[in-house]
Amino acid sequence: MIENRKHLGLAKIGFLCLVVVIWIIPFAASAQEVAVGQATATVQAVLAVTSVQDLNFGNVLQGVPSSADIDVVAEAADFSVTGSGGAEVALYLQLPEYLWNSTNTDRMQISFSSTDCEIDANIGTAATKVAPVVADPYNLPATALHATNNILHVYLAGTVYPAVDQAVGAYSADIVLTAAYTGN
């Protein structure tokens, strides 16, 4: 019985140590320099672009222009860019002029104004931006990632113009965001 209690105690201590060590691993790995004894390795910071939310106009009516609100989570497009904290990232949006139906027989005009984009180098959503900077979506400025959160968000709104005789159907197009470090 005493032997079993000893085993149980050792197992508990071992388990606690393991939990602590495993919790520390991800934080240690996020640092750029990892030193183990005499060896030092450079962990290179990767750049990742993620689509958090699609640009969404919902159902639209013939002849009635419909706009997505840049402050509404369910409407504004939201791209997040993550990488090395503080690093400057060049951003480029390729925007469509039309949405096409599935048979490519009819198209719907879409437009983006010079204030339809906001960049916020903070964690947040379209509705909870911290320090958004209004930008022309056709000429996005290079922006530094947040120094400690390693992130920036690109929010995009726009307007679709269905024609009076717009054919009923499902229309789609691509929005492309390109991100590149300016410092290498």
Give the nearest distance from C-beta 37 to other proteins in angstroms: 18
Residue 82 is a binding residue for other proteins (CB under 8 A): yes
Pick from 15, 146, 155, 150: nearest CA to 79: 155
Answer for which of 28, 54, 65, 113 binds other proteins (CB under 8 A) is: 54
Answer for which of 35, 62, 74, 114 binds other proteins (CB under 8 A) is: 62
Task: Select from 51-59, 113-121, 130-138 the region that touches other proteins (CB under 8 A).
Answer: 51-59
**Rounded distance, CA 41 to CA 36, Å?**
8
Task: Select from 49-57, 112-120, 130-138 the region that touches other proteins (CB under 8 A).
Answer: 49-57
**Rounded distance, CA 180 to CA 81, Å?**
10
**Which residues from 101-120 bind other proteins, rule CB under 8 A?**
102, 108
- Which of residues 44 and 148 has its CB atom nearest to other proteins in the complex? 44
- Which of residues 49 and 71 has its CB atom nearest to other proteins in the complex? 49
Residue 65 is a binding residue for other proteins (CB under 8 A): no
Q: Who contacts 174 (Cβ-Cβ below 8 Å, separation ≥6)?
A: 94, 96
Do 89 and 182 touch, CB atoms closer than 8 A?
yes
**Rounded distance, CA 77 to CA 126, Å?**
8
**Which residues from 147-176 bind other proteins, rule CB under 8 A?**
160, 162, 166, 168-176
**Rounded distance, CA 133 to CA 139, Å?**
13
Q: Residues touching other proteins: how many (CB under 8 A)?
A: 76
**Helix or strand holding residue 99 (H, E):** strand 98-101
Answer for which of 71, 73, 92, 107 binds other proteins (CB under 8 A) is: 92
